Structure 1
Amino acid sequence: MTTIKTLIKEKLSTKVVILIICCFFLYIINWLCVSATPFLIGKFIDDVIQTKIGINIFYIYILIGLLVLDIVSNYISNILITRLTSKFTFHISFSALQHLKKVKLEHFSQKNAAEISQQISMDSDHVSEFLISSVFQSVGSLLSLVLCVFFTFQVNTNLAIIILCFVPIYLAFYIVTRKKIFELSFEYSESQIKFFSDMNHQLSNIKIIKINAWYNTLNPKFKKSFQQLYETTMKYSKFAYLYNSVDKITNSILSIIIIIYGGYLLLHNQLSIGGFAIINSYVGMINGSVSYFFNFFKSYKDVSVSKERLENIFLLEKELNHQRLLKSIDTIAIENVSYQYPDAPFPIVNGVHHTFSKGNIYLLQGGNGSGKSTFLNVMLGLHSDYNGEVKYNGVEMKELDLYHMREHLVSMVEQEPMLISDTILNNLTLGTQHDISDDVVHDYCKEFGLDYYIQSLPEQLHHHINHSSTNLSGGQKQKLALIRCFLKEADLLILDEPTSALDIQAIINLKEYLLSIKQKKIIIIVSHDERLNSIADETVEFSHAALQSV
C-alpha cells in the first residue's frame, strides 16, 4: 500500500538529501547564533560593570558577526525549505492524482471533483509543510532548548532546575488532550471542504443560475453549509484557545517565579546583573522552545487528519488491468453481459448479446436511461464488475492491458469534449501516438469547416484556448473533438452525439468521411439524429438495456 512514508522515500534523491543536510547545517548555525547571543550580552554587561574601563570592542565584533551569520543562514535555510516543501507537495498531489485516475469509475459517481482536488491540495500542502518546516524547526527548537538550559546551568543551577520542572506539565496536558484535538481538527477540516465545495458548485453552474434566476433559491443550502462550518470552527477555536491558554499561563507562572527568585539572588549578590539578564533572556527562549513543542504536538494531530485522508485515497481500489496486448481490434463480442450500479435496485444493462466487427458502422439509439452510456463504459472496461463476457478478438477483456488498448486502439468523441488550456494544435494532437504534420491537421480542419476560423486567428493553429473553452462555440468544440478523434487513427471509434452542434455541411462531410474510413474501423455512433441512419450498417435499439438490431 502507498503511504506518505513511501512517497517521501521515493522523493529522497541524492540532490534532495544534500538539500536537507544543508538545511540542517544552516539551522544549527542559526540557532547557535541565537542561543549564544544572550550569553555574550550578559557577559558584556558584567564586564562593563566590573572593569569600569569602558566598552570591550571584542564583544561588539562578536555580536555583529553573530547577527550577520544569523540573518544569512536564516535567509538561505528558508529559501531551501520552501523549495523542498514545494517539491514534496507536488509529489504527493501528483501521486494522489495518478492513483485516482486508475480508481474504479464507480467511486466518482457521488464525488465532487472540486471537493476532491481541494482536499488533495490542502492535505498535501499541510503534510509537506509539517514534514519539512516543522521537522527543521523542531530540531532548531530542541537545540535551542538544550543550549539555553546549558547556559542557564552555567549561570545558576537552581534556576535551571526550576525551568526544567515545568516541562512535564506541557507533556501531561498534551497526553490528556491529544484525542480531542484530532477529532475536532478532522471535523473542522471536513466542514471547510464541504463549504467551499458548495460554493464552487454554484459558481460552476452560474449560467443555469442566471437563466432560472436562482439567485436566492440555493441560498438555504449554502447557509446550512456555512452554519456547519461556523459551528465546527467555534468548537475547534474554543478548544484551541484553551490549549494555547494553558501554554501562556504556564509560561507566565514560570516567568514570574524566575523574576522573583532571580531578583532575590540579585539583591543578595548571588547573581550578577549580567547573569540576571542572561537568565531572563533564556527563560523567554526556553518558554518559546517548550511552547513550540507544545503546539507541535497539536499540529501533529492536525496533520494526522490530512495524512489519514491522503492515505485513504491510496486505499481506493484500482480498476482491473492485465498484461495481454492487442495489436488491433477486429471484433468485439458481448456475451450475456449484465451490469448493475452498486446502489441501483436492478441492472441497467441486462443479458446483452451483440458482436461488433471491423468494416461496419453501428448506430446506437434509445431513450435517456436506457443504458447506452453504461453499455459503452462496460465495453471499454470502465465498469469491471459486470457479469458475462466481453471479448476483443476472442480474448476476454479482463485478460487485456486495457490502458494500452485505450491509449492506442480506441478513440472517442464525448458529448462534452474535454479541451486543455493550450494551443489549438496541441488540443488536436492530444493523445496521438505518431508525428502529425501541420499540413495534415490543416487538411482535417478544411474537411470539417474549421479552417476559416483558424485562419482568422493571429497565431492560427498555435492560438491558445482555455480549458473551459469560453472562446469557442459549441460547433467549434465538437469539430475539434472529431478531428482529434480521427487524427489518432484508432481501430475503434466511438462517437457520442457527434452531430448535436454541427451545421448541415459539417454533418454531410462527417458522413462522407466515416464511409471512406469504415473498412479499417469499428465505428459506433450514439445518436438520435435520423440523418445518420443512411450510413449505418446496423442500428441497435436500446430499450432498458435490451438490445435489438434493426
Structure 2
Amino acid sequence: MKNLVFYTLKKNLPSLIFVFVLNILISLTLIIIDFNISGFIDRMLVISDFSEIKKDLMNLSLIMSFSIVILIVHYYVSEMLTTKIMGDINKSVLSRVQTLPLLFFNNKDTSFITQSINIDSFELSSFYVSKIMKFFTNIITIVVVLIIIYRVDVIIFLSLCAIIPLYLLIYMLLRKTIHNRQSVLKNSQSNYFSSMFKQLLNIRTTKINSWMSDLNKSLHEDFESLYTSYSKFTKINVLYDNLSDIISKVLLIGYIIFGGIQLFYDNLSVGNFVLCLILLQLFTSKLNLILGYFKEYQNMLVSFNRCDAYYCIEAEPNGVQTLDTISSIAVSDLSFAYNEKQELFNNYNGLFTKGNIYCVMGENGSGKSTLINLLLGLYKDYDGCILLDNCDIRDLDMYKIRKKYIAVVEQEPNLFGKTVKDNLIFGLETQVLEEKIIEYAQFLKIHDFIEHLESGYDTFVSEDTLSGGQKQKIALVRSLIKEPAVLILDEPTSALDEESTIKLFQLLKTNKTNRITIVITHDEAFAKIADQLVLI
C-alpha cells in the first residue's frame, strides 16, 4: 500500500507542487494584506488629504484581486487533482482485491468492500492533496507571523511560542481515542451504505415477498449502529476542537489586555496593535487548523490501514507459463476440503479430452461446482495434480488461459449495464463479425427478440431487463462466439424451453470436435449426447 501511495504521488508530483505553491501564495497574500492594512491605519491617523492614500487603496485592491484569482485557481486545480488521485487509488485497491483468492470472498459482503474502498480512496486523496499541503503551508505561515510579531513585540512573540506545546499536548492525549472511534465510525458508515444498497438489490424478489419492512428494519438497525458510533466520535471531536478554541480565546483576551496597556502608554502604535491583533487571530486559526490536520491524520490512518489490509492478504498464486491450446485436462489423486468437516474430494482421478462431451452429475452439495472451480484454477489449496496438456495448472498463467481458451456459462448468468451487443462481445480479445453473432443468436432463438427491442442489439439492458431464459441464451451466445477450447456449462437448460434445449443439444454435438465440453446438470436428457458421465 505504501508503494501505491508513493507511486500515485510521484505520478502527480508536478500538479502537487503547483497546488503547494498556490497554497503558499494564498497565505503570503493574506499576510501582505494584513501588513498593508496596519500601515494604512497608521497613515490614516496622520494624513488629512485623501488623495495621498489613493496609492495605498490601489495597492490593496490589486493584492486582494490577485488573492481572489489564486483562490479560484487553487480550488479548481485541487478539486480535479483530488478526484484524479482518488480514482487512481480506487482502481489500484480494487485491482488488488480482485487478485485475492476466491475463498477470501466467502461470507464477505462485497457491497461493504466497495463502499469502504470508495470512502477510503477519497479520504486518502483529500489528505494528500489538501490536508498535507495546507499543513505545511500553515506551518510556513505561522513562522512568518512569529517573525513579524517578534519585530513588533518580543513579549507577545514569547507568549505565542509558549502556547504551541499546549496544542501538541491536546493531540497526544486524545489521538488514540480519535483513531479508535474514527475506525468504528468508518466501518459503521460502510455497513449502513451497504445496507442501503441491498434495499434495491433484487427489487423484484423483495416486492414479490413483501420484504420491504424487513429490509427497512435491518437498515434501521444499521443506522442505529452508525448513529451510536457517530455520537461517540462527535463527543471526542467536540472536546478536541473546543479545547483548542478555549486556548485561542484566552490568548486573544490576554493580548487585548496587554496590547491595550501598551497602546495606552504609547509603547505600541494603533497600526501595530491592529496588525498584532490580526496576526494573532491568523496565528491561532492556523494552529487550530494544524490541530485539525492532526485529527485528519488519524482519519487518514484508519483509511490507509483498511486499504492496506487487502495488501497484507497474500494474492492468489498465478504461474507464468502459457499454452497454445487445451486438448486435455487430467486430474490425479485430487483431494480438497473447505474445512475439516467438509471434505469433497479424496484421491479423485479423471480425464477430459478434446472432442468429447462430459456430463457431470451428482446430488446438491456433492462438489460439482467445486470441481469446476478447481479445473479453472480458482482454488489452489488442494492436494494432488491438475494438468492442462501435461502442464501443472499451478505453473500456468490461468488469467490469460481462462480469458483466451475457456468459456463458462453459469447457472445464473450476469449481465453488465451495457447494450446487448456489448454484453455478447464483452471480454473478447479478437473482433467478432456481426454475422457470426446473429448466426448463433438465430440458432438459439434469441435474435428475433433482440431485433424487436427498442434499439435492437444496441439496446441498453440490465439484470432486471431480461428473463432468466433470455439471459441464459445471451450467455450461451457470448461463450460460443468466443470459440473456446474448453466450454463449461452449469445447468444450461434450467431456464430454457424445450425447443431451445433441443437446439442447444444440436449445437453442442455439432461443435464438439475442437473443444472439451463439460456440462454440470441434473437434466438426465444430457446423458443422450454425453460421451461420458462423470458422477460426483
TM-score, normalised to structure 2's length?
0.96
**2:123 corresponds to 1:126:** yes
Say whether the 8 Å CA contact 1:340–1:349 is kept in structure 2.
Answer: yes
> Partners of 1:476 and 1:175 in 2: how far apart?
62
Q: Distance in 1 between matches of 2:82 and 2:190?
A: 22
Task: Report 1:417-456 matches (<5 A).
Answer: 417-456=413-452
In 2, Cα distance between equivalents of 1:448 and 1:11: 51
Per the alignment, residue 283 of structure 2 pairs with 286
Aligned residue identity for 1:4: K
- Give yes or no for contact 1:266–1:276 (8 Å, CA) kept in 2: yes
Structure 1 position 223, deviation (Å): 4.1
Mapping for residues 50-129 of structure 1, pairs under 5 Å: 50-54=46-50, 56-129=53-126
SS at match of 2:511: helix
> Residue 500 of structure 1 aligns to which amino acid in structure 2?
S
The aligned residue for residue 153 of structure 2 is 156
**8 Å CA contact 1:23, 1:77 repeated in 2:** yes
Compare 433-442 and 59-68 and name the one that shifted more. 433-442
User: Which residues of 2 match residues 348-363 of structure 1 at below 5 A?
Assistant: 348-363=344-359
The CA deviation string for residues 432-485 of structure 1, in whole angstroms up to 9 with x for no partner, is 22221111111111111111122223432222223xx22222221111100000
Aligned to 2:481: 487
Deviation, 1:357, is 1.0
**How far apart, CA to CA, are the structure 2 residues paired with 1:460 and 1:294?**
59
Q: State the match for 2:6 in structure 1.
A: 8
In the other structure, the counterpart of 2:302 is 305
Q: What does 1:263-282 align with in structure 2 at a 5 Å threshold?
A: 263-282=260-279
1:313-365 CA-to-partner distances (Å, cap 9, x unmatched) read: 112211121112111111111112121114x5131233321111111111111
- d(CA) in 2 for partners of 1:69 and 1:173? 37
Q: Please list every run of 5 or more consecutive structure 2 residues that lacks an aligned counterpart in the other structure.
A: none
Given that 2:8 and 2:85 are in contact with CA atoms closer than 8 Å, whether structure 1 keeps it comes out as no
Aligned counterparts of 1:8 and 1:340: Cα–Cα separation in 2: 40
Q: CA deviation at 1:207?
A: 3.3
Say which of 136, 142, 145 aligns to 1:145.
142
Maintained 8 Å contact 1:8/1:88: no
| 1:93-126 deviation per Cα after TM superposition (whole angstroms, max 9, x unaligned) | 1111111111100100011110000000001110
Distance 1:373 1:94, change over 3 A: same
**Cα distance in 2 for residues equivalent to 1:377 and 1:451:** 31
Task: Note if 1:240 corresponds to 2:234.
Answer: no
| Contact map agreement 1:115 1:194 (CA 8 A) in 2 | yes
After the TM superposition, which of the residue ranges 173-182 and 378-387 deviates more from structure 2? 173-182
Q: 2:364 is matched with which residue?
A: 368
* Preserved contact between residue 27 and residue 136 of structure 1 (Cα < 8 Å): yes
Name the residue aligned to 1:524.
518
How far, CA to CA, are the matches of 1:265 and 1:367 in structure 2? 93
Give distance in 2, aligned partners of 1:204 and 1:75.
41
Match of 2:401 in 1: 405
CA contact (8 A) 2:132 2:293 kept: no
- Say how many residue pairs are matched: 535
For residues 372-396 of structure 1, the C-alpha deviation after alignment (integer angstroms, 9 at most, x for no partner) is 1111111111110011111112222
Q: Is the 8 A contact 1:30 1:69 kept in 2?
A: no
Equivalent of 1:457, from 443, 453, 460? 453
Query: What is the CA distance between 1:24 and its match in structure 2?
Result: 2.1
User: Which SS does the other structure have where 1:45 is aligned?
Assistant: helix
Structure 1 position 297, deviation (Å): 0.6
CA apart distance, 1:161? 2.0
Contact kept? 1:389, 1:396, Cα under 8 Å = yes
Give the counterpart letter for 1:9 in structure 2. Answer: Y
Match of 1:531, SS state, is: helix
What's the counterpart of residue 321 of structure 1? Answer: 318
Task: Report if the CA contact (8 A) 1:485-1:493 is conserved.
Answer: yes
CA distance in 1, matches of 2:531, 2:390: 22
The answer on whether the counterparts of 1:321 and 1:401 sit within 8 Å (CA) in structure 2 is yes
Distance across 2 between alignment mates of 1:253 and 1:424? 68
Could you tell me how far 1:527 is from its partner in structure 2? 1.4
**Structure 1 SS opposite 2:317:** coil
**Secondary structure class of the residue paired with 2:426:** coil
Contact preservation (8 Å) 1:454, 1:460: yes
Tell me the secondary structure at the aligned position of residue 299 of structure 2.
Answer: helix
Q: CA deviation at 1:296?
A: 0.8
Aligned to 2:35: 39
Q: Which residue of 2 aligns with 1:23?
A: 19
Change (3 A) 1:122 1:393: same
Aligned residue in 1 for 2:195: 198
Give the structure 2 partner of residue 534 of structure 1: 528
Equivalent residue number for residue 471 of structure 2:
477
SS of residue in 2 equivalent to 1:524: strand
Contact 1:11–1:91 at 8 Å: present in 2 too?
Answer: no
State the shift of 1:182 in Å: 1.2
Structure 1 residues 459 and 182 mapped into 2: Cα distance closer, same or farther (>3 Å)?
same
Partner amino acid for 1:280?
A: L
What is the CA–CA distance in structure 1 between the aligned matches of 2:306 and 2:526, rounded to whole Å?
A: 48
Q: 1:202, CA displacement in angstroms?
A: 4.0
Letter in 2 for 1:505: E
Matched-pair contact (CA < 8 Å) for 2:4–2:89: no
CA 1:8–1:463: 2 relative to 1, 3 Å = farther
d(CA) in 2 for partners of 1:217, 1:453: 37
Structure 2 residue matching 1:179: 3-state secondary structure: helix
Aligned residue type for 1:308: N
In structure 2, how many angstroms separate the alpha carbons of the residues matched to 1:26 and 1:96?
A: 30
Amino acid at match of 1:358: K
What CA distance in whole angstroms lies between the structure 2 residues aligned with 1:452 and 1:346? 46
User: TM-score, length-normalised on structure 1?
Assistant: 0.94
User: Contact 1:427–1:484 at 8 Å: present in 2 too?
Assistant: yes
Residue 515 of structure 1: aligned partner: 509
The 2-side partners of 1:215 and 1:503 are apart by 32
Summarize the Cα distance change of 1:83–1:105 in structure 2 as closer, same or farther, 3 Å threshold.
same
State the 1:60 CA deviation. 0.7
* Corresponding letter in the other structure for 2:458: H
More displaced, 52-61 or 272-281?
52-61
Letter paired with 1:40: N
- The whole-number CA distance in structure 2 between the counterparts of 1:219 and 1:444 is 44
Q: CA deviation at 1:177?
A: 1.7
Q: Percent identity?
A: 31
Shift in Å, 1:261: 0.7
CA contact (8 A) 1:431 1:488 kept: no
Distance (Å, rounded) in 1 between the aligned partners of 2:122 and 2:76: 16
Any conservation in 1 of the 2:336–2:382 contact (CA below 8 Å)?
yes
Classify 1:380/1:5 alpha carbon distance in 2 versus 1 (closer, same or farther; 3 Å): closer
- What is the CA–CA distance in structure 2 between the aligned matches of 1:43 and 1:541, rounded to whole Å? 94
Is 1:296–2:293 an aligned residue pair? yes
CA RMSD of aligned residues (A): 1.7
Is residue 208 of structure 1 aligned with residue 205 of structure 2? yes
Moved more, 259-268 or 423-432: 423-432
